[in-house]
Structure 1
Amino acid sequence: MLLVDAPSDGVALVTLNRPEAMNALSKALRAELHETLRRLDGDPAVRAIVLTGAGDRAFTAGLDLKELGSDPDGMQAANATDPAENPARAVLACRKPVIAAVNGVAITGGFELALACDVIVASASARFADTHARVGITPGWGLSQKLPRLIGPYRAKELSLTGNFLDARTAYEWGLVNRVVEPAELMPAALKIAADMAQIDADMLIVQKALIDDGYALSLQDGLALEHERSSRHNAGVTPEMVEERRAAVQARSRAQK
């Protein structure tokens, strides 16, 4: 149900592999995703992760509604706090950057999973929908709070109160995704971003990601205080020799890119 590959140094590609079920997040798949992300988080050889779905129909259609309909306790998954049950929390618990390569529809819980990632790259054929209200379930994996913070409350209400699909181009215009590419370019684009991240020291990726995430949850004033506190502590351990070594590496990369 889950494929893990290493397409380049420092990069892991994780694929939800239930294309016959639109990569729906069954209980077993959710548990496997958590275990895989936990393992990759602790693997020093991995610095960035790309998450996608198998096939071209779906990133993921969210919770497996057929499974929920046959399990008396299945609805607990919609409000689960354990990362083994809540895939959004499994992604958020990963200290390393996770890039969502959205190859098809990302519906309801699948939408929430994409929103939990650090970067979203979408195929031109990708579409997003929040159908919680239409199926009678209240969001429990973060969508009701993250979506309005990303695109504003008016647009978020339009999506959540209609259940309508949002196409990839509009999602980009609304600031929901980082970029939109043609389907054939989706994986190369996502893997290129991951490869660029993998060139950064692993500790710096973790520190910088946490600083952005933790600060964003605060007011601006408190976020600035957090930045000052963490920056002062971290930079106290940086020597002139370290700066010079990394400056030379940045210059060499710039020349190579030109």
Structure 2
Amino acid sequence: MSDPIIHVERDGAVAIVTLNRPEALNALNRALRMEICRVFEELKADPDIRAVVLTGSGRAFTAGVDLKEAGQTGFALGADGSDIDIAQALGAYPWPIIGAINGFAITGGFELALMCDVLLASEHAKFADTHARVGIMPGWGLSQKLSRLIGISRAKELSFTGNFLDADTAERWGLVNRVYAADELVPAARKLAHEMAGCDPVLLRGYKKMIDDGFAMPFGEALREEIRRSAAHAASVTAESVEAARKQVTERGRGLN
């Protein structure tokens, strides 16, 4: 029996999802794209999971779309079909997704990384956007997301050259939050995921949605939307629930000292 192309490990409220085509640098062929969609739909329906760590096996997070296969099936990957729309599958996932970038994240792999909510990187991580070099337009959000994360000038430098961005520079530019030794990456991502999953579940889902929705709005409109949602949520908050939560936060703070 062959190894599955994705491993899913459940650890309490956290799922560790590992792309598993190491012999192909986890290239995103149609089968792997379909499995990513299936796994995230399954996790979305799992009432016990409230955070996901997404990583890769071997030397790569993912080297991007399988170009050999795409040469036979077509390159309009943003219009791949609703059955394998990974951007939609990850975009619709309601809980935090932490990308643990263990190695190469190239072109479509870079786009998959940008679908995550938070990125942590191994010291071996390398990012590259080679769309302009291979003659394909991005269709999973890279052209819009990258400039909003690291600034338009830096994004253009990466996209117009296809040059690699190393982990330390990615951290300095604000693309990844932190860089770890290779063997510390997934444990660190797992710990962060558990910290997120420990938040109030209603607030966690609602907060992620509010940030993501607001990010797509003009600033003034986003501020007004925050006020609207805050007022709507406040109607369900009691003094007793706030006091209980305050005590939990205080105890957690004492435990960190």
TM-score w.r.t. the length of structure 1 is 0.95
1:201-227 deviation digits (Å, cap 9, x = unpaired) = 222111000011111111111011100
Q: 1:47 aligns with which of 47, 50, 55?
A: 50
Quick check: 1:37–1:91 contact (8 Å CA) kept in 2? yes
Q: How many angstroms does 1:78 deviate by?
A: 4.0
Quick check: 1:81–1:89 contact (8 Å CA) kept in 2? no
Quick check: 1:148–1:155 contact (8 Å CA) kept in 2? yes
Q: 1:2 aligns with which of 6, 26, 38?
A: 6
| 1:32-43 equivalent positions in 2, closer than 5 A | 32-43=35-46
Whole-Å separation in 1 of the counterparts to 2:132 and 2:89: 24
Which residue in the other structure is 2:71 paired with?
A: 69
1:147-178 deviation digits (Å, cap 9, x = unpaired) = 11111111111101110100010011111111
Q: How many angstroms does 1:70 deviate by?
A: 2.7
Which residue in the other structure is 2:188 paired with?
A: 189
Task: Give the 3-state SS of the residue equivalent to 2:47 in structure 1.
Answer: coil
Quick check: 1:53–1:60 contact (8 Å CA) kept in 2? yes
* 2:130 maps to amino acid: T
* 1:75 maps to amino acid: F
Whole-Å separation in 2 of the counterparts to 1:94 and 1:150: 20
Q: How many angstroms does 1:184 deviate by?
A: 1.2
* Count of aligned residue pairs for this structure pair: 253
Q: Runs of 4+ in structure 1 displaced over 3 angstroms?
A: 78-81
* 1:157 maps to amino acid: K
Task: Give the 3-state SS of the residue equivalent to 1:75 in structure 2.
Answer: coil
* 2:179 maps to amino acid: V
Quick check: 1:11–1:198 contact (8 Å CA) kept in 2? yes
Q: How many angstroms does 1:81 deviate by?
A: 6.2
Q: How many angstroms does 1:257 deviate by?
A: 1.5
Unaligned runs of 5+ in 1: none
Whole-Å separation in 1 of the counterparts to 2:85 and 2:163: 24
Which residue in the other structure is 1:58 paired with?
A: 60
* 1:127 maps to amino acid: K
Whole-Å separation in 1 of the counterparts to 2:201 and 2:46: 11
Unaligned runs of 5+ in 2: none
Q: Percent identity?
A: 56
Task: Give the 3-state SS of the residue equivalent to 1:4 in structure 2.
Answer: strand
TM-score w.r.t. the length of structure 2 is 0.95
